[in-house]
Structure 1
Amino acid sequence: MTYGDTGIVERITPWALGAAVFLLSMASASGSVGVESTLPDPVLVALAAASAVAAARARRSLWPLAAVGAIAYAWLVMWPAAVAASYYAGTHLRRRDLWFYAGGAVAVFALSALVSHRSEGYRALVAGTPANAILMSGAMLGLPLAAGLWVRARRQVLATMRERAEQSQREQVLRAEQARDQERARIAREMHDVVAHRVSLMVLHAGALEVGAPDERTAEAAALIGGVGREALSNLREVLGVLRSQDSVRGPQPTLADLDRLLDQTRALGIVVDRHNEGDTRPLSPMVERTAYRVVQEALTNVHKHAADARTDVFVHYRPAELEVIVRNKPSVGTSGDLPASGWGLVGLRERVELVGGRLEAGPRDEDGFQVLARIPAA
């Protein structure tokens, strides 16, 4: 049952109970399921209607229903309101109030038995003898009260089980978060011990080579290597900070404004790279520009690894609804083969592009070159 269906049932149930109490009260007064009354019909209808309204509002306040039930039973042996009151007493009243209700109910049933005993005819026979009075008090008071107490105990057990399940789920989530944080910290430590240490050595050696370079070109190359290494260390520190803490604040992330600097670093390695802009250049959201930058960065990394002497073209197309980025290299004469390929660069790049609703295509071209194409929604 859905939440909406449950709400409808919760609203209908009180009035359905009130209608049942009204019908059963009229049946009791007519003698069908109780003692026939000689009072005028308007009086009986008014008493039955009062019982019905009190029963419909019993969840808000039990005592009006208990009062109407006491009057109806003591006066006319009209039992439906008394039965409903006993059930709600079991489900809602606290222990002290419950004892107070039970004592009052016993007094009402004793008064009804006394009035019935002094009456004549069918009422005296049904509710006036001690045995029948005890039997009726057990049926009209004891059974509904016991049913209400059982329902309340069941609700409490279910609520306790639900609370324990929610607590267990919260603890499980907390343990999973702690395990994840520990794993992130372990990865950060390993990356720092291995990668950061080696990159730092590379920067130091590049600095030493720059100082003792035999010629200007070697010094420039060493300075470039040192600059790239220091930038890699800075980026690595940002990644390690994110791994160590989810709440860590990351530094400024590169966007398309930094693309020329990235291309200049590639050109400094001897690779011919041309940039082509098409469409109306306009500022886009930081996530879109950052994703486009990472596409070009990963594509150029693959060029460094597998086609170091290939001429490369970078196309940035500003379309109305999307940003299209193409990195295309022409057939290479040879490959560098010195740097190992992780095999996960394009996979991670495709996930990054798809995360912002885009699409990435990468593969060989018909002219035996290689192309990386990304379409990123810009709207």
Structure 2
Amino acid sequence: MKRIPPAIWADAVFLLIAIADAAINLDPDDPGGNLSMALACAALIVRRRWSFVVFLLTLPAALFSAGTAAPLIALYTFASLTRRRPMLVGCVIAFAVCNALPWPPPPFLASEGFETVVTLAYAAAFAVAPALLGQFVQARRDLSAQLAEISQAQEHQRMLTTQTVLAKERAQLAREMHDVVSHQVSLIAVRAGALQVRTRDEETKEAATTIRQLAVNTLDELRHMVTVLRASGSLQTELTPQPTLGELRQLIANSGIETALNADLPDDVSKPVQRAIYRTVQEALTNVRKHAPGASATVDIRAEDGDIRLTVTNSAPTRPTLSLPGAGHGLLGLRERAELLGGEISSGPTAADGFQVRLRLPYQ
């Protein structure tokens, strides 16, 4: 059911009040007064659109009859909409005079002078009340609009402040990535290239080639990320393309780990699930390189009971483990990503001294 606006209800109530007042003051012996009250009630229908004209049309009711509700409503409406104070004062005086002095006016006798002044004073006070109420409503409406503008300005200022802070942080992060991380990755690529040229051992040369290729790819990604960060949070900034399952074989090939991939998935796996699988395999193989040198790995992906299940298992390391820096946030980030998609991830050692990462995601 369509909701009726409050303004329509207010118009209906005011019109009923004016009609009730006219009915009470109806005089069968005064057709002119009755006609003026009918005109005043009809004019209230368009009081919001032509408030001054409506007030003028209701004045005869105050002059020729005892019905004052319609002129008072019209005066209140005009006061709530106009910003011409002299015209409003003139309307108040006009209503007071029409309401206080009967028509046709009787001859003013000296004995009636004091009563006439008192009547005019009461009529003026009677007219001032709706005018002041209308001005109060107008001031309240203006104040509400100003408060809304102030609130919008403050929200805009907060947004600008937040964007400024983010832009500074992004610029600082971009400088750190460019000056520190990119430099160190460049050194890795150079040293790997030198090793690739100088060594005669095929296994070492292959490892050096893989390291150099990974370093070059990392530099390309770092340069793109620095460009994104230096864009200062623009909404039109182009983000790095997100990986899909189609790139999984390339990831495994570049990992430098002997890995067997067993994948049996439908073609309509959603993009978020594909990204979660890719990042999980990426993190698991990274951990194999760091914590299980010389180990082989198996990546198994399948759909089962409405879920996507991923298992990455690596064998025991065949070489001594090197102490490499790590913040320990990799698996934590994967767990948060899985929970956002309604899944879960677990990990732990295997009976063969290896390690296994298990991911379950609902099929989406």
TM-score range, shorter chain: 0.7 to 0.9
Q: Is the 8 A contact 1:308 1:335 kept in 2?
A: yes
2:300 corresponding residue in structure 1: 315
Compute the TM-score of the two structures, normalised by the length of structure 2. Answer: 0.84
Per-residue deviation, 1:136? 3.5
Per-residue deviation, 1:200? 0.3
Letter of the 2:78 counterpart:
A
1:230 corresponding residue in structure 2: 216
Kindly tell me: are residues 259 and 175 of structure 1, through their superposed partners in 2, closer, same or farther at Cα, counting changes over 3 Å? Answer: same
Q: Is the 8 A contact 2:264 2:302 kept in 1?
A: yes
Mapping 1:59-74, distance limit 5 Å: 59-74=48-63
Q: Residues 241-300 of structure 1: CA distance to partner in whole angstroms, max 9, x if unpaired?
A: 33222433245443222222222233x3xx432111235x42544443233211100111
The answer to whether the aligner puts 1:115 opposite 2:106 as a matched pair is: no
Q: Is the 8 A contact 1:305 1:339 kept in 2?
A: yes
1:167 corresponding residue in structure 2: 153
Q: Is the 8 A contact 2:95 2:127 kept in 1?
A: no
Kindly tell me: are residues 321 and 136 of structure 1, through their superposed partners in 2, closer, same or farther at Cα, counting changes over 3 Å? Answer: farther
1:305 corresponding residue in structure 2: 290
Per-residue deviation, 1:127? 12
Letter of the 1:293 counterpart:
Y
1:336 corresponding residue in structure 2: 321
Mapping 1:63-212, distance limit 5 Å: 63-95=52-84, 98-100=85-87, 102-103=89-90, 106-107=93-94, 109-111=96-98, 113-116=100-103, 118=105, 129-212=115-198
User: Over aligned residues, Cα RMSD in angstroms?
Assistant: 3.3
2:43 corresponding residue in structure 1: 54
Structure 2 portions without partners, runs of 5+: none
Kindly tell me: are residues 254 and 273 of structure 1, through their superposed partners in 2, closer, same or farther at Cα, counting changes over 3 Å? Answer: same
Q: Is the 8 A contact 1:310 1:332 kept in 2?
A: yes
1:34 corresponding residue in structure 2: none
Picking from 13, 16, 35, the partner of 2:13 is: 16
3-state secondary structure, aligned to 1:363: strand
Structure 1 portions without partners, runs of 5+: 31-36
* Count of aligned positions: 356
Q: Is the 8 A contact 2:33 2:64 kept in 1?
A: no
Q: Is the 8 A contact 1:65 1:81 kept in 2?
A: no
Cα distance in 2 for partners of 1:354, 1:256 equals: 20
Q: Is the 8 A contact 1:126 1:132 kept in 2?
A: no
Cα distance in 2 for partners of 1:71, 1:42 equals: 9
Q: Residues 332-378 of structure 1: CA distance to partner in whole angstroms, max 9, x if unpaired?
A: 566623322221111222333444x2423122156364332333445
3-state secondary structure, aligned to 2:141: helix
Letter of the 1:89 counterpart:
F
1:273 corresponding residue in structure 2: 259
Question: For structure 1, which segment, 246-255 or 306-315, has the greater mean C-alpha deviation from structure 2 after superposition?
Answer: 246-255
Kindly tell me: are residues 314 and 49 of structure 1, through their superposed partners in 2, closer, same or farther at Cα, counting changes over 3 Å? Answer: farther
Picking from 27, 36, 39, the partner of 2:29 is: 39
Letter of the 1:301 counterpart:
T
Kindly tell me: are residues 108 and 260 of structure 1, through their superposed partners in 2, closer, same or farther at Cα, counting changes over 3 Å? Answer: closer
Per-residue deviation, 1:230? 0.6
Question: For structure 1, which segment, 137-146 or 284-293, has the greater mean C-alpha deviation from structure 2 after superposition?
Answer: 284-293
Picking from 315, 326, 332, the partner of 1:347 is: 332
Letter of the 1:90 counterpart:
A
Letter of the 1:39 counterpart:
D
Letter of the 1:227 counterpart:
Q
Mapping 1:237-276, distance limit 5 Å: 237-245=223-231, 246=233, 247-266=236-255, 268=256, 271-276=257-262
Cα distance in 1 for partners of 2:247, 2:100 equals: 96
Cα distance in 1 for partners of 2:113, 2:183 equals: 96
Cα distance in 2 for partners of 1:378, 1:237 equals: 35
Mapping 1:361-372, distance limit 5 Å: 361-364=345-348, 367=351, 369-372=354-357
Q: Is the 8 A contact 2:307 2:362 kept in 1?
A: yes
The answer to whether the aligner puts 1:360 opposite 2:344 as a matched pair is: yes
Question: For structure 1, which segment, 11-20 or 243-252, has the greater mean C-alpha deviation from structure 2 after superposition?
Answer: 243-252
Q: Is the 8 A contact 1:299 1:327 kept in 2?
A: yes
Cα distance in 2 for partners of 1:111, 1:59 equals: 23
Cα distance in 2 for partners of 1:296, 1:132 equals: 95
Cα distance in 2 for partners of 1:217, 1:104 equals: 102
Q: Is the 8 A contact 1:304 1:336 kept in 2?
A: no
Per-residue deviation, 1:321? 5.1
Q: Residues 100-130 of structure 1: CA distance to partner in whole angstroms, max 9, x if unpaired?
A: 454355345435544357469xxxx999942
